[in-house]
Amino acid sequence: MIEVQNSILKMVAQGDDLDATLSKLCCELEILLPGTRASILTLDTNGLLHPLVAPSLPRDYSAALDGIAIGPAAGSCGTAAYLRRVVVVDDIESDPRWSASKHLAQAAGLKACFSSPIFGSRGQVLATFALYFEEPRGPTAFEQSVVEGCLPLCMIAFERYGRVLERERLAYTDALTGLTNRAKFNKDLETAPVSGWSLLLIDIDNLKNVNDTFGHAAGDDLIAVVAARIAGAAGVSRAYRIGGDEFAVILDDATAIDPAELAELIGQNVSIPASCGEHTAFPTITIGIAHAATGLSVAEVRQNADIALYHAKEENRGGVLIYDAALTTAISRRSEAIHKVATALKEDRIEAWYQPIVRIDTGEIVGVEALARMRTVDGAIVPASEFFEATKDAQVAAALTRRMIECIARDVGAWLRLGIPFQHVGINLSAADFSCTDLPESLEIAFKREGVPLHHAILEVTESVYLGDRDRRVAKKIASLRAAGLRIALDDFGTGFASLTHLITVPVDIIKIDKSFTALLSPDDPGTGVVEGILHIAKRLGIKVVVEGIETLEQAELLLERGCVLGQGYLYWKALPADQICALLRERGQGRDSVSELNEALVRLSGHPGSLLQRGMT
């Protein structure tokens, strides 16, 4: 018996599996006690028994005991666990406690059973230890003493295993949400099947806004609420928190749950207003989905889900996107564009071209908008529209803006030194520029170096930059830029949401009506009424208006009749390189002596072939 105890204690100390340790114990006892068969059943928190080890019992018999509830007449083991004491049944056939399951014992050739509860150190019943006999009889004194000597070994093995489980639970559990964490997520992915499962990656859309507005305690509350709602829809065993505001769900195809339908359900559950401390938040999430098709590695499935989530956040924030191969193509295209622009920046092949802004009534050029152009190695010019994808990379976008500022300062400085009539240049800013700490310092340094006063610069910001401004970072930056004396233009006005709200919450000096409205201009089109309304509002707010995309004489005349004075578009000029703009400004820049004559001619809107509106076309 001492040898058995030492053998089992060694296995416990080595950290062997609980099943292996207790199976070894049962086998040793059966050798020590011939004619017996040992069994250990565990007891769960719901009072149900589950087979753990029974090396000499038929598998069918052990399986039939799984899930049996303890009670005063639940066989030997169920009764022992219920009464918390040893139960001896010397004849299963006649004992009323076995009436419901004696047929199982008879089929297994079992005639009697001696069962003892296994207690934990705190007095709770952890399991039962049973000796079965192949003839009707009770245990001998020696058999009883052997079992009594084994019960503490069982307790030690169970409690060590419980501590291991608890350490593992803590290691794999996210403290804030109670969900399994990234470590467990990675471990479960390692054992994922080759195919037949899906991965949902989930991102909270507005956590930073909640943190900055209400504090990090409210943000933690929001994370916990979202986690609970994800787990409620997907199931706790399938949900993971893998980052600050990132979650994942692993979905086996065997569940017959459609991943897209589950994603929609999760989104609906999460979007219910949530109480976060003393505040109410309105959470939304974005979800990317990838399916584990045959031939794909786990890493590839995870990468595909990442790509789907990335595109969903850019194109359909708050929605669901399922991965397909076209998304990878888009990523490749963007990577290629980023590489090309980064190389062009390094090799000084980025140039500033300029599109004139004119007075519609006189045709004078009052300013220009600077537009990026990339020159290829063989000298071809690439317009910005062909490498726009690269500007979605924050680092490239910021570097491109800095290069454009340098080019603009050099060109404008040269024009001013030549005495060219010139008022202002529009400089486009991206969302990435508002994350940089050197704005407006970089602009001031570049302009000062070339001797260009800052009042010649107008910073143009698109509505899309405003739309992503959940933490009002852009609004604060714009306010500081205006306070520094710089003028701000709201570009592509009308293409985003709540455009009029922007004019109130983030005052600007100029709005540039998007060309999509210009294309609709005609006497009977509703778009003309919209433009009239914008012109009226801008006038009341003291904001200047530039209309983009003017392509026909009719559009120009309609705008002029409605009080719009400034415009740009192909009716006048496309973007031109600096040397050509220099010559054009010398000829058409505001301040020429013939302005009054041209103005007089156009005010009459004669429409004759010699009018400036027509002569200005190129």
**Tens digit of each residue's pLDDT (9 = 90 or more) over 8-62:** 899 988 888 999 999 999 999 999 999 999 999 999 999 999 999 999 999 999 9
Q: How far apart are CA 308 and CA 314, in angstroms?
A: 10
For residue 341, what are its two tokens? 């622009």
469 — pLDDT class (breaks 50, 70, 90): low
Q: What is the pLDDT of residue 337?
A: 86
Query: With 0-12 CB in 10 A as exposed, 13-18 as middle and 19+ as buried, what is 472?
Result: middle
Residue with tokens 């989905």: 289
pLDDT above 60 for 471:
no
Mean pLDDT of 271-293: 89
Strand 36-43 and strand 424-429: pairing? unpaired
Between the alpha carbon of residue 352 and those of residues 435, 438, 440, the distances in Å are: 23, 21, 19
CB-CB contact of 412 with 456 (8 Å): yes
Higher pLDDT, 458 or 599: 458
Average pLDDT of the residues in 450-470? 80
Q: Are 299 and 307 in contact, with CB atoms under 8 Å apart?
A: no
Mean pLDDT of the chain: 87
Average pLDDT of span 507-518: 88
Specify the range with the lowest mean pLDDT, choosing from 444-458, 498-512, 571-585: 498-512
Quick one: what percent of the chain has pLDDT higher than 70? 92
Domain boundaries, the chain: 2-170, 182-323, 335-615
Alpha-carbon span 256 to 104, nearest angstrom: 35
pLDDT band per the 50, 70, 90 thresholds, residue 604: very low
The CA-atom distances, in angstroms, between 132 and each of 71, 108, 406 are 20, 10, 91
The reported pLDDT for the residue numbered 221 is 93
Q: Is the pLDDT of residue 612 over 70?
A: no
Fold identical between 182-323 and 335-615?
A: no
**Residue 553: its pLDDT value, please?**
92
Sign, CA torsion 84/85/86/91: negative
Question: Residue 549: what pLDDT?
Answer: 93
Q: In CATH, which superfamily holds the domain spanning 182-323? A: Reverse transcriptase/Diguanylate cyclase domain (3.30.70.270)
CATH superfamily of 2-170: GAF domain (3.30.450.40)
Q: What is the pLDDT of residues 303-338, one digit of tens each?
A: 999 999 988 887 788 899 999 888 877 777 888 888
Tell me what the mean pLDDT of segment 568-582 comes to: 94
Cβ burial, residue 232 (10 Å; 0-12/13-18/19+): middle
Quote the pLDDT of residue 467. Answer: 59
pLDDT score recorded for residue 190: 87
Exposure of 8 by Cβ count < 10 A (0-12 exposed, 13-18 middle, 19+ buried)? Answer: buried
Please tell me the predicted confidence (pLDDT) of residue 192. Answer: 84
| pLDDT, position 596 | 41
pLDDT of residue 615: 35
| Pairing relationship of beta strands 365-375 and 381-383 according to DSSP bridges | antiparallel
| CB crowding 300-323: b at 16 or more within 10 Å, else e | ebbbbbbbbbbbbbeeeeeebbbb
Is the domain spanning 335-615 CATH 3.20.20.450? The answer is: yes
Q: What is the total residue count of the chain? A: 618
- To the question of pTM greater than 0.85 for the whole model, the response is no
The answer, yes or no, to whether residue 358 has pLDDT greater than 60, is yes
